[in-house]
Every structure is written in structure tokens, then in C-alpha cells.
């Protein structure tokens, strides 16, 4: 029985940290699931990491569904969360229900995530009322990059109050958890203490109820850039490149294939 939204709330009550990592394919899902994460997020970050787009804006429902199907095939225990792509929910409650419902029906995922606080509260409530569990996402919202002109820290100064309002709105609308992206640790602490649903931080400090990172960032596979909040637990990009260089060298020199790898 995979991890449920009720387990998320229980973990917060017990003070047990929640772990979430992204995956976009079967193999990665198997690795993070078997290692024991609570949830796998099929992030729209796949647009940049797996598809080479410059932002998450171009990602479509079709692309998200294609990748999420593969992730669901690779998981045993973790909850699978489908990240709703740009324009799949901002156009209104009806579109949001149809698209999120499609995600659940076609992929076998367990929940969806949408970006936005106060302005998305009505949509979150409608989704939950339709039987679709929702994870919120406030603070830095990458789908709004063109409004803010970049991926800067959010929640400083005057903006602090607004983000606290967003957190309250998302909880009251019925979300089972909320991602806090790139806000000061002290603000994340205040929000975490205020809410009864768990906060899942990324670049939001240590006081959150859980943490999420992009898998390809934390294993060192995505090397285009590294935000300050990313900790690299391995350098798999470097390892893979060295392996490929070795292969090229051995094929050219005639060392591979040897007897051991021939019939």
C-alpha cells in the first residue's frame, strides 16, 4: 500500500521528517522508491532536466502524462505526485478538474501539485471536492518566471505577509501539503508552525516538515547550473562521462570487447 496523504499529516504530528525526490522515468522511480522516499514528484522541472527546455513554461499535459506513466510503473511504496503544467489549471476550475482528473485516470498517480496561493484557493478546493488530492506550491513559483523576471528569493520585506496569506489559503482550501520554494528559513519556520498540513521545503531551510530536491541535481547529473539550495550527494555526471571516455578509448585501442564479453 503506497504512502497516502493521511500518512503525510500523521508524520507531521509525530514530528517525523518527510522526504520527496523527483523522477521522470521508470528507472529513476525504482531507485528513489527502493531507497525509501515518501513521495516521488513528477515535476514539470522535467522540461528543463529531461527535455532541454529553457524553463517549465513549454511543458504540456501530454509530456507530463507520458513521463508519469513510466514513474508509476517503477514505484512500489512511494506516493506519486503529478505536477500540473503551465496553463493546465490557470484557465479555470473546470479545466483544472478535467486535466487533474485526466492525470489520475490515465497515469495512476495519487495526487497533483499546483503553483499558487490565494489566487488558486478556489481551484484547490474544487479539485479536492472532486476527489483529487492537491499539494500546494508557494514562494518561488517557476511557472511565473516571466512575471517576476527570474528565480530570485521570495518572501523578503513586504512580500512576507503575502506568503503567509498564501500558506493559510492553501491549507484552508484543503491541500494535504504545501511546497515552500526559495524563501527565508525563518519565514518557512513561521509557516510550518502555523499550519497543520506539512510544509515541504526546497531552498526554504531546515524547519520545514519535509524536503524535496530534483533527483538529477542531488546526484550531480544536471550540471547546467547549481542553485545554492542544491546539495550534491554524488557526482554521477562526472562518473558517467569518465565511463564513456573509457569506452571510447577501449574500443579504439581494441581492448573492448575482450573474451569475457564475447561469445
Contact with ligand KIV (CB under 6 A) among 140, 212, 219, 221: 212
179 binds ligand KIV (CB under 6 A): yes
Site string for ligand KIV, 38-57 (x = CB under 6 A): ---x-xxx------------
Q: With binding defined as CB under 6 A, does residue 63 bind ligand KIV?
A: no
Tell me whether residue 57 or residue 190 sits nearer to Na ion (CB atom): 57
Tell me whether residue 186 is one of the annotated catalytic residues: no
Site size with ligand KIV, rule: CB under 6 A: 10
Instruction: Verify binding: residue 114, ligand KIV, rule CB under 6 A.
Output: no
Which residue among 40, 84, 214, 218 contacts ligand KIV (CB under 6 A)?
Answer: 214
> Does residue number 44 form part of the binding site for Na ion (CB under 5 A)?
yes
Residue in 15, 1, 16, 33 with CA at minimum distance from that of residue 215: 33
Q: In angstroms, give the least distance from the CB of 235 to ligand KIV.
A: 20
User: Within 69-88, which residues bind ligand KIV (CB under 6 A)?
Assistant: 83
Nearest distance in Å: CB 263, ligand KIV: 44
Residue 113 labeled ligand binder: yes
Find out whether 135 and 199 touch, Cβ atoms under 8 Å.
Answer: no
Q: Is 110 annotated as a binding residue?
A: no
Query: Which residue in 10, 181, 190, 223 is the catalytic one?
Result: 181
Catalytic residue ranges: 181
Binding-site positions for 3-methyl-2-oxobutanoate read 44-45, 83, 113
Amino acid at each position: 500500500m503506497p504512502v497516502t496523504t493521511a500518512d503525510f499529516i500523521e508524520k507531521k504530528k509525530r514530528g517525523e521528517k518527510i522526504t520527496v525526490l523527483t523522477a521522470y522515468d521508470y528507472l529513476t522511480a525504482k531507485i528513489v522508491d527502493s531507497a525509501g522516499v515518501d513521495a516521488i514528484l513528477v515535476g514539470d522541472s522535467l522540461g528543463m532536466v529531461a527535455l532541454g527546455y529553457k524553463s517549465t513554461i513549454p511543458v504540456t499535459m501530454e509530456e507530463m502524462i507520458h513521463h508519469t506513466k513510466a514513474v508509476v510503473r517503477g514505484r512500489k511504496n512511494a506516493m506519486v505526485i503529478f505536477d500540473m503544467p503551465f496553463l493546465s489549471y490557470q484557465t479555470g476550475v473546470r479545466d483544472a478538474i478535467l486535466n487533474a482528473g485526466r492525470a489520475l485516470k490515465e497515469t495512476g498517480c495519487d495526487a497533483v501539485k499546483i503553483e499558487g496561493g490565494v489566487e488558486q484557493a478556489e481551484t484547490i478546493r474544487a479539485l479536492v471536492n472532486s476527489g483529487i488530492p492537491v499539494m500546494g506550491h508557494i514562494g518561488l513559483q517557476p511557472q511565473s518566471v516571466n512575471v517576476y523576471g527570474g528565480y530570485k528569493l521570495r518572501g523578503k520585506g513586504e512580500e512576507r505577509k503575502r506568503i503567509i496569506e498564501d500558506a493559510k489559503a492553501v491549507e484552508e482550501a484543503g491541500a494535504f501539503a504545501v511546497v515552500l520554494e526559495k524563501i527565508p528559513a525563518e519565514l518557512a519556520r513561521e509557516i510550518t508552525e502555523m499550519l497543520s498540513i506539512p510544509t515541504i521545503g526546497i531552498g526554504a531551510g531546515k524547519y520545514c516538515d519535509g524536503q524535496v530536491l530534483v533527483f538529477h541535481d542531488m546526484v550531480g547529473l544536471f550540471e547546467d547550473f547549481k542553485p545554492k539550495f542544491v546539495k550534491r550527494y554524488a557526482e554521477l555526471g562526472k562518473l558517467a562521462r569518465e565511463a564513456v571516455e573509457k569506452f571510447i578509448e577501449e574500443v579504439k585501442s581494441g581492448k573492448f570487447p575482450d573474451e569475457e564479453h564475447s561469445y
